[in-house]
Structure 1
Amino acid sequence: MSAQSLPPGWRPSYETCPEVSESCSVKYTTLGYFPNQGVNIFLALGFGLSTVITIVLGVWKRTWGFSIAVGAGCALECVGYVGRVLLASNPWNADAFKIQIVAIVLGPTLVCIGLYLTLKHTVTALNRSMSRLAPRWYPIIFVPADVSCLVVQAIGGGIAASAGRNSYELLQHGNRTIMAGIVLQVVVLGAFGGLAGDYLFRASKYFRSGAVAPEFQGGAVVWVDKKFRMFVWAMGFAYAALLIRCIYRIAEMAGGWGNHIMQDEPSFVVLESFMVLIACILLAVFAPGVFFPQMSHGYSAGDDKRPHHTESDSAGTEMERV
Structure 2
Amino acid sequence: MSNCTDSAALSKSESNFVVLLWTWPFNYQFPVDECPKPFDTAKCMFTANHSFYNKAKAVVFHHRDVCQSRKQMPQMPRPEGQYWVWFTLESPSHSPNLQFMDKLINLTMSYRSDSDIFTPYGWLEQNEAADNYTIPEKSQLVAWVVSNWNPQSKRVRFYEELKNYITIHIYGNQHLPLIREQTNSVISKYKFYLSFENSIHTDYITEKLWRNALLSGSVPVVLGPPRENYEKFIPSDSFIHVDDFPSAKELASYLLELDKSDQKYQEYFKWRSKLKPVGNTSWIIHYCKACIELQSAPPYRTTPSLTKWFT
Structure-2-length-normalised TM-score = 0.26
Larger helix proportion, structure 1 or 2? 1
Larger strand proportion, structure 1 or 2? 2
Higher gyration radius (CA): 1
